[in-house]
Amino acid sequence: ILNVEQSPQSLHVQEGDSTNFTCSFPSSNFYALHWYRWETAKSPEALFVMTLNGDEKKKGRISATLNTKEGYSYLYIKGSQPEDSATYLCAFISWTNAGKSTFGDGTTLTVKP
Amino acid sequence: NAGVTQTPKFQVLKTGQSMTLQCAQDMNHNSMYWYRQDPGMGLRLIYYSASEGTTDKGEVPNGYNVSRLNKREFSLRLESAAPSQTSVYFCASSENLILRGDEQYFGPGTRLTVT
């Protein structure tokens, strides 16, 4: 079983604050890392697919970076809005675990107006 | 274009009963997956199907069986439900097996309670 950890488990910020959280994964046999956004009562939706060390992806106010050598990815939200409130999941895919993505437990973000 | 659909949305079973959760996708995806999600935990893979005609075990396959009926449909069967199988079940699909880096598209989930 691969160990994928997300921190913090939960985060409460004020509207307008910028925030970031971490996904840690095994640094060996890396293939890809996915970030998903999961709003309450909805299904997870893909945010980013990251495959190369040093990858930086951006979608609006949300961006992500990837360091495969040290085994972590950061997700940043600039100027948080209440509609950013959701659980953010990362999923790690390795060469040795072909076809199986291992999800972290998620970081739940609450943005207060 | 409905994406990934699941039925039923809610189900209550008694211990020992059996049932099948249905999943269908209309995106012409090759690969499909079943996950369970328990409180405080992430998604755990039960079974997956890389392509029509193939299925493989995931992280937590015990107590479940699957059928890839055709390219569109992937069902999950509980032969003898147990309280430990109380969970929210998500079906997902991707264009190809995740090794291609393709993201997954998730269905709305089935909330199952076993009493």
What's the pLDDT score for residue B29?
A: 94
What string of DSSP letters covers B26-95? -S--SEEEEEEE-TT--EEEEEEESSTT--EE-S--TTEEEEE-SSSBEEEEESS--GGG-EEEEEEEES
Q: What is the least distance, in Å, from the CA of A10 to any CA of chain B?
A: 11
CA distance A21 to A64: 10
pLDDT > 70: percent of chain B? 96
Q: What is the least distance, in Å, from the CA of A75 to any CA of chain B?
A: 17
What is the 3 state secondary structure string of chain A?
CCCCEEECCEEEEECCCCEEEEEECCCCCEEEEEEEEECCCCCCEEEEEECCCCCEEEECCEEEEEECCCCEEEEEECCCCHHHCEEEEEEEEEHHHCCCCEECCCEEEEEEC
Q: What is the least distance, in Å, from the CA of B32 to any CA of chain A?
A: 10
- Predicted confidence band at B42 (pLDDT cuts at 50, 70, 90)? confident
pLDDT > 90: percent of chain A? 76
User: pLDDT of A44-77, one tens digit each?
Assistant: 999 999 988 999 999 999 999 999 999 999 999 9
Q: What is the least distance, in Å, from the CA of A109 to any CA of chain B?
A: 14
Top residue of A38, A48, A66, A101 to mutate, by most chain B CBs within 10 Å, is A101
- Residue A47 pairs in a beta bridge with none
The mean pLDDT of B26-42, rounded to a whole number, is 91
Whether A99 sits inside 8 A of B40 (CB atoms) is no
Identify which of B48, B107, B109 has the shortest CB distance to residue A100: B48
Sequence-distant (6+) residues with CB within 8 A of A34 are A46, A47, A48, A49, A50, A90, A91, A93, A101, B103, B104
In chain B, whose CA is at the least distance from the CA of A35?
B103
Is B99 part of the contact surface with chain A (CB cutoff 8 Å)? yes
A-chain residues within 8 Å CB-CB of B43?
44, 89, 91, 103
Q: With 90 as the cut, is the pLDDT of residue B103 above it?
A: no
